[in-house]
Amino acid sequence: MRVHQIVPRLDAGDAVSNQALAIHRLVAEWGFESRIYANGMDEFGKRHASYDHAYREFMRERDDLLIYHYSIYCGNYEYYLRSASRKVLVYHNITPPEFYERFYPEAANLCRLGRELLPRLAGCDLALGDSDFNRRELVAMGFPEERTGVLPMRPPVEKLERAEEDAALARWLGDGKTNLLHVGRAVPNKRLEDVIKLFCCYHRGVNARSRLVLAGPLPINTYYSALLSLARRMGVEDRVFFLGKVSDGALKACYRRSHYYISMSEHEGFCVPLLEAFHFGLPVIAYAAGAVPETMGGAGILVHDKEYPLLAELLDRLERDALLRERILAAQRDRLEHFGADRFERALRAALGDKLGLEAAEDGVRSCFLQAAGSEPPAKVR
């Protein structure tokens, strides 16, 4: 029996790619032939995947298992629809198109097509969201609820720990200034303009020895230009640094040498950087939108109003109140344990075990999957 995975792209550092690779490694450890296919890939991806047209030779294999990762409209959905294999859909969410309309109409159209296509993908054996937020969206789109579940993302913290820290970046970030960090693509739903506004209040009203570090790809030129213009108008253009896509070593330096992690995103299907920040001991302040409250699970600081002066004062209090800071960090460490390698393996085995003919797992495995699928109430937000 073979297990095939199809993704839109397989790229270094990409969250969907990391999830596909985590599944690939476990399935191979369980003794199955495992393959990944992508419509596009970088040099890293070429070491791990084939182009998606290579899947054609296996489309008639009824005993194989096909896992389709859906995160953006991509023509390889046709392979999923036409495949005779048993099918599992993993839904990573698609950003609502209205976030892109102003800056990137082409991306808005792809998001619109992707959301319109989703109901046609419901004819699968199992549909998994990587958060219950995503699972509920599947149900709203017509997927039978009894054939849905949750397979949380696996944050690649071990991979980051193994990376050699970028020494030059570490020296620059370690110059004594307070570093506020955000990690992720520069796209409109991330609301990086709101991160800049918060930083401006903090830099001007609380701590002039501070900088904002934004690490992640810069794919949308018009949005990026608008962010640069905003930083200039607010007088902090020399304190806001867009690093673009960075290596694992540079990302490790960003996490290790920063002091706070900020997310003002208004749409997230999971948000892996929150957990990476938990791992590296950064107090997290995040806006409560999409799957963010679920991912944080009561840890960190979840905010419902973007009152930037108040949030700036909160950062100042975290700097001065060591007890409060440690309470927050302790809760974040506890939350991170819910996303460990052993729990991910148990959840994956619970989801795919019957389809792969694996032996029935212990009772805790099935309950782990049911809990991830939302059968128990989420943790209260502190």
Question: The tokens of 186 are what?
Answer: 């520069």
CB burial of 137-176 (b: ≥16 within 10 Å; e: otherwise) equals: bbbebebeeebbbbbbbbbbbeebeebebbeebbebbeee
Q: Looking at residue 67, what is its pLDDT?
A: 98
pLDDT of residue 207: 98
Q: Is there a contact between 88 and 64 (Cβ–Cβ < 8 Å)?
A: no
Task: Decide if 303 contacts 286 (C-beta within 8 A).
Answer: yes
- Residue 162 CA to residue 213 CA, distance in Å, equals 22
Residue type, 203: H
Looking at residue 219, its pLDDT comes to 79
Q: What span, in angstroms and rounded, lies between the C-alpha atoms of 89 and 73?
A: 14
DSSP string, 6-74: EEEEE-TT-HHHHHHHHHHHHHHHTT-EEEEEEEEE-HHHHTT-EEGGGGGGGTT-TTSEEEEEESS--
Q: Which helix (H) or strand (E) holds 181?
A: strand 178-183
Residue by residue, pLDDT tens for the chain (382 residues) are 899 999 999 999 999 999 999 999 999 999 999 999 999 999 999 999 999 999 999 999 999 999 999 999 999 999 999 999 999 999 999 999 999 999 999 999 999 999 999 999 999 999 999 999 999 999 999 999 999 999 999 999 999 999 999 999 999 999 999 999 999 999 999 999 999 999 999 999 999 999 999 999 997 779 999 999 999 999 999 999 999 999 999 999 999 999 999 999 999 999 999 999 999 999 999 999 999 999 999 999 999 999 999 999 999 999 999 999 999 999 999 999 999 999 999 999 999 999 999 874 444 334 444 444 443 433 333 3
Tell me how far apart the alpha carbons of residues 254 and 171 are, in angstroms, rounded to a whole number.
Answer: 11
d(CA 271, CA 268): 6
- DSSP category for residue 339: G
d(CA 230, CA 215): 18
Q: Distance of alpha carbon 156 from its chain centroid, rounded?
A: 11
